[in-house]
Structure 1
Amino acid sequence: MRNLTKIGGAAAIAAALALTACGGGGTPTGPETAKGQGTGSDLAKLISINEKPAADLEPGGKVTLPLGSIGPDFNGFSNNGNSSDNSAMMAPINPVAVNSGGIGGCWKVDFVGKATPNKDFCESVESKVVDGKQTVTIKVNDKATYNDGTPIDIKAFQNTWNILKSPDAGYDIVSSGAYEFVESVEAGSSDKEIIVKTTQPVYPVDSLFFGLIHPAVNTPAIFNEGFVGEMHPEWMAGPFKVDQYDAAAKTVTMVPNDKWWGTKPVLESVVFRQLETSAQIAAFKNGEIDAMSANTIALYKQLEGTKDSEVRRGQRLFAGGMNINAQKITDVAVREAIFAAVDREALRKVRFNGLNWEEPSSGSMMVLPFSDYYQDNYPVKETGADVAKKVLTDAGYAPNAAGIMEKDGKPAAFKISNFGDDPTTLAFTQTLQKQLQAGGMDVGIDQRASADFGKVIGGRDFDMSVSGYTVGPDSTDAVKQYYDSKVNENGLGDAELDKKIADLASIEDNAERNKAAMEVEKEHMAKYFSMGVVMNGPQISFVRTGLANYGPSLFQSLSQVPDWSTLGWIKK
């Protein structure tokens, strides 16, 4: 499942694992780390986490990190809770359920995107296909238990399947994913052995049970409404636990979980604070927070030279820029005109100005340009104001007295929702606005606080937003989430495309399956024009000197923390 995220510099902290640390406090390091990588490149250039073994870290200590929003819905499986900020915050306290990024339920992902069983929860996962039927056998860790004492066993797996298998059961799920192809989930030799049978083979196997839902979350009312303002730490399991959630102060404090059976964390506490971008700048400079994203030049310049800090650079796992609500902008001709009016290169110049960053033209919502599976699926090859006006003219629009293209007395008019107070992000939105206005559309800006992001986007209270989604290493889940007519939030698609999506899930060969997914995206974009890919972008993090195992880490972590047990401070 892909998480919603803002385009701006401080939308969410990302995760970290791995290879190198970038220099301290000044200019971003060399050209190789300032360029989006193409197919076959060395992805190690996109990772920077100051990797250290736990033995080199000071026991105890506290790390404080910012988020653009905390809640208000803490159910990451629901549309209202589906945000990168939510996933980042839940990673240390509820990895059994975090269903995107580098860890979730039965699976963990390394920095290049390879999934292996997460043995804290699932010791082994074996798949066999006989006569076209697949059987997946999962051995659950005997010690795996929720904070309230409920065993993580067959009941959790059955509950997860029952909730996620269909969007028609009353649960406000983001996507049914591969669960619609699951025929049964039964106990094997014990409640800790899970036997999953499917109606057709499902690939990749890690698309199943990448996140588990507590058995107590077993009605639409609990699932859809029960997490609004309520974190329910008793239904979690992870190396940390919630010590305090202060809704008024907009902070969540976490401490080591005495019930955790896995590796004990180095830190004695983790604090997440909800802060607007401008407040994050002041907090980092004052030593109140220990890291923040600076993915725009305005942020970078304000943080540059901060005492006891260093810069860590890599690739941001993001695709998007134009998220169109087709339930508000209902005419496909207007949506096509939006795509036609946009100058993506000009927008990227505004967004990346001064950041020493180049990237290929991004054209897929599902994978990044360095992927072997990538292809540019942007549906409009010729763009510009005249092209956009021609699209509208051909659809029966004509300019009114104000020069706005209009049809049957209804102008092509809408607003772009912009989140947060970062000036570069606003400049991006204003540039986009001018491009669309030049194409004959009446376009305003709906300015919102970062804290409103989940509520506005999850509640579909926007016409078009400057936002996008996190990107994973494989497109199989994403193609269904974005383009299946029964699943995507716009309800756009058709039976032919839905069948192609269902069929591709059973293709075992990774390259063949992803090629099929790419063709679906290409066809859907050219028919329905709902998700506009403008950019991917860098992940540039300012980090307190001495913080180890934190920073851009590709697919290993959405929170820039590849392993929460080894996040900590280097011994002095």
Structure 2
Amino acid sequence: MTVLVGCSGSGGPPDAQRTTAAEKYGSQGMGAEPVGQLRDGGTLTLGISAWPTQLNAHQVDGATDEVSQLVQLVEPVLFLRDARGVPHPDPDYLLSAKVTRAAPQTVVYRLNPKAHWSDGRPVGAADFAAQWRAIGRGDDRYRVANPTGYDQIVSVTEGPGPHEVKVVFRTPYTDWQRLFTPLYPASAFATPAQFNKGWIGRVPVSAGPFKVESLDSTTETATVVRDPGWWGARPRLDRVVLRTLLPNAALQAYRNGEIDAVSAGTTEDYAQLKGAENSTMRCGSAWDEVHIALNGAAGPLADIDVRHAVQKAVDRQALADVAAKGLPVGVPLLGNHIFMANQPGYVDHSASWGTYDLAEARRLLDQAGWRQPADGGPRTKDGRTLRLRFVISAATNRLGLDLSQLVQSMLGRAGIKVDIAKVPANDYVAKYLHQGDFDLAIFRFVDFTYPSEITSIYERPHGDQSFLNYGRVGDATVDELLRQAAGTLDTKRATALYNQADTEIWRLGHDIELYQRPQLMAVREGLANYGIPGLGDIDWTKVGWTRTPPK
């Protein structure tokens, strides 16, 4: 039995004390090994919490972590970020990518001439152009998750040389490296029907080190295998299997040797996994936050005073303390929506609206006309009860349920009745979050290491397009500040603008920002180059086994 807790920051034995400090910015736990020392072949089996049906990661229903896990195996990822989030061109797709002109900002991508789609077509300018037209032209027929950056492009054409693509921006865009990743093929992406429905339950065209072998909706299992047409470095693994498992089932599957990695980021999971056989614990620091969305489009939370009251009635530190109990790493409270607590640029703006103050919450509710009866029951107004529906996914782990119940109790003390509704995991995003069918909802946003990606969470909806702003709370000030920041090439100026926007996001009562999620993962002994990649990306051609994995 091997038990390794290689995580810093505890100041002592793993369970001796807790610290509020997160792991160092950009730290990672990957079990790094030279590729040449890994065995050729083998299977990696992982768990995912919901079955991904929409496999277009740029479509609003496909903007989930589960879709990302599958798509990055089979579609082009043009830049790979290192542990600190710095992007570097992936030479399997890009020989270079540079800003060749400042005004107007012009980027020339020089493509690897060997790169081609599974239908035989070369990866080229037509694919870039189709993706831009679908995402960035403001055509509401395309149900887009995040148009940021694409909507600043004025043209996409063939470049001055062979295998080159030239992209010209209307206004400067700092995070241009995040665009066209993942890249999809024009042959299956160019029309609204292809964009919205062509990738449901299928991957019609691919261009990655792996290809889809099967998508079994009955067992909710996806299997990808080495693509013999791959032109790059040969992946060490033969196949990767993604099994849909609820949190408790995933934990047991790992302990039974059925899957090869599982999150250990909660008290319950860590306690059961720290002594697991043939296992090692990895940790690091990622952009990963937990929050409670507030639906400001309808119902009681459409009133900003009620949103502020809800913010004040929730003891965020108490929730973070529950999340941190028994863990060897810190779980810091977040006072910023854009930067993590250990990230350069972080400033805590939570004092006004993120500080627990039950008396102030009650005063705000009185001000909004919601009166509490003498017996201390739920508040009423015009014959209506102040009642909120807290929607959670069936895939929510024990911690998520505990937090939901604590929030239910906290809001109850302010006179707000909360009903917790557990809904099917596969429907949670598409049928509840995107449709605004909730008052409160707890979930995470992950891997937003490019600050401009935040825009789609906080900008005002455009018609029926809510992007990732599920609660539909926003204003013109936030929109303008985020746009200015994304278009500012001066890093210090951009950081200041993002922080101005964060102050306004708190004032709007957009959500209840909670904490930076701890990054702990139990992985099978011998699994190399996989785990917690910090602020970076996993290079799937390098993931493999140092020896035959124990089963």
Distance 1:133 1:280, change over 3 A: same
With 64-73 and 467-476 compared, the bigger mean Cα shift is at 467-476
Aligned residue number for residue 439 of structure 1: 414
Measured after TM superposition, the shift of residue 161 of structure 1 is: 0.8
Q: Which of the residues 273, 290, 303 maps onto 1:331?
A: 303
Aligned residue number for residue 13 of structure 1: none
* Residue identity opposite 1:311 in structure 2: M
With 316-325 and 493-502 compared, the bigger mean Cα shift is at 493-502
1:461 correspondence with 2:442:
no
Measured after TM superposition, the shift of residue 482 of structure 1 is: 2.2
1:101-500 equivalences under 5 Å are: 104=77, 106-130=78-102, 132-189=103-160, 192-215=163-186, 216-228=188-200, 230-232=201-203, 234-328=204-298, 329-378=301-350, 379-400=352-373, 403-419=377-393, 420=395, 422-455=397-430, 456-486=432-462, 487=467, 488-500=469-481
Q: Is the 8 A contact 1:37 1:43 kept in 2?
A: no
Measured after TM superposition, the shift of residue 27 of structure 1 is: 5.8
1:549 correspondence with 2:525:
no
Measured after TM superposition, the shift of residue 317 of structure 1 is: 2.8
Measured after TM superposition, the shift of residue 75 of structure 1 is: 1.5
Distance 1:271 1:191, change over 3 A: same
Aligned residue number for residue 67 of structure 1: 48
SS at match of 2:215: strand
* Residue identity opposite 2:359 in structure 1: D
1:86 correspondence with 2:28:
no
Query: Separation in 2 of the partners of 1:64 and 1:273?
Result: 7
Distance 1:217 1:35, change over 3 A: farther
1:536 correspondence with 2:516:
yes
Query: Separation in 1 of the partners of 2:343 and 2:297?
Result: 32
Distance 1:29 1:294, change over 3 A: same
Distance 1:544 1:292, change over 3 A: same
Q: Is the 8 A contact 1:319 1:366 kept in 2?
A: no
Distance 1:122 1:368, change over 3 A: same
1:522-533 equivalences under 5 Å are: 522-527=503-508, 529-533=509-513
1:45-64 equivalences under 5 Å are: 46-64=27-45
With 433-442 and 210-219 compared, the bigger mean Cα shift is at 210-219
Q: Is the 8 A contact 1:74 1:81 kept in 2?
A: yes
* Residue identity opposite 2:156 in structure 1: V
Aligned residue number for residue 567 of structure 1: 543
SS at match of 1:347: helix
SS at match of 2:127: helix
SS at match of 2:302: coil
Provide the TM-score with structure 2 as the length reference: 0.90
CA RMSD of aligned residues (A): 2.3
Distance 1:193 1:113, change over 3 A: same
Distance 1:195 1:306, change over 3 A: same
Q: Is the 8 A contact 2:458 2:505 kept in 1?
A: no
Considering Cα pairs closer than 8 Å and 6+ residues apart, tell me whether 1 or 2 has the greater RCO.
Answer: 1
Distance 1:122 1:553, change over 3 A: same
Q: Is the 8 A contact 2:80 2:539 kept in 1?
A: no
Query: Separation in 1 of the partners of 2:237 and 2:183?
Result: 26
Distance 1:466 1:263, change over 3 A: same
Query: Separation in 2 of the partners of 1:173 and 1:253?
Result: 27
In structure 2, runs of 5+ residues without a counterpart are 12-17
SS at match of 1:177: coil
Q: Is the 8 A contact 2:47 2:261 kept in 1?
A: yes
Q: Is the 8 A contact 1:366 1:474 kept in 2?
A: no
Measured after TM superposition, the shift of residue 466 of structure 1 is: 1.3
Provide the TM-score with structure 1 as the length reference: 0.87
Distance 1:327 1:227, change over 3 A: farther
Query: Separation in 2 of the partners of 1:261 and 1:82?
Result: 28
Aligned residue number for residue 15 of structure 2: none
In structure 1, runs of 5+ residues without a counterpart are 1-22, 97-103
Distance 1:484 1:545, change over 3 A: same
Query: Separation in 1 of the partners of 2:494 and 2:8?
Result: 36
Query: Separation in 2 of the partners of 1:448 and 1:317?
Result: 27
* Residue identity opposite 1:256 in structure 2: R
Measured after TM superposition, the shift of residue 541 of structure 1 is: 0.9
* Residue identity opposite 2:283 in structure 1: R
Q: Deviations over 1:382-439 (max 9, x none)?
A: 4232221111112222124763223333332112122326322211111111111112
Query: Separation in 2 of the partners of 1:543 and 1:485?
Result: 40
Query: Separation in 2 of the partners of 1:128 and 1:35?
Result: 47
* Residue identity opposite 1:563 in structure 2: D
Query: Separation in 1 of the partners of 2:354 and 2:57?
Result: 36
Query: Separation in 2 of the partners of 1:336 and 1:227?
Result: 40
1:5-16 equivalences under 5 Å are: none
Measured after TM superposition, the shift of residue 191 of structure 1 is: 6.5
Aligned residue number for residue 17 of structure 1: none
With 477-486 and 505-514 compared, the bigger mean Cα shift is at 477-486
Measured after TM superposition, the shift of residue 549 of structure 1 is: 1.0
SS at match of 1:533: strand
State the percentage of identical aligned residues: 27
Distance 1:183 1:402, change over 3 A: same
Query: Separation in 2 of the partners of 1:450 and 1:28?
Result: 32
Measured after TM superposition, the shift of residue 55 of structure 1 is: 1.3
Query: Separation in 2 of the partners of 1:358 and 1:303?
Result: 18
Measured after TM superposition, the shift of residue 443 of structure 1 is: 0.5
SS at match of 2:225: strand
Measured after TM superposition, the shift of residue 43 of structure 1 is: 3.7
Query: Separation in 1 of the partners of 2:403 and 2:345?
Result: 29
Distance 1:322 1:31, change over 3 A: same
Query: Separation in 1 of the partners of 2:166 and 2:52?
Result: 35
Measured after TM superposition, the shift of residue 512 of structure 1 is: 1.5
Aligned residue number for residue 515 of structure 1: 496
Measured after TM superposition, the shift of residue 134 of structure 1 is: 1.4
Query: Separation in 2 of the partners of 1:125 and 1:421?
Result: 40
Measured after TM superposition, the shift of residue 246 of structure 1 is: 0.9
Distance 1:442 1:552, change over 3 A: same
Measured after TM superposition, the shift of residue 550 of structure 1 is: 1.3
* Residue identity opposite 1:69 in structure 2: A
Measured after TM superposition, the shift of residue 242 of structure 1 is: 0.7
Distance 1:26 1:452, change over 3 A: farther
Equivalent pairs counted in the alignment come to: 530
Query: Separation in 2 of the partners of 1:30 and 1:195?
Result: 45
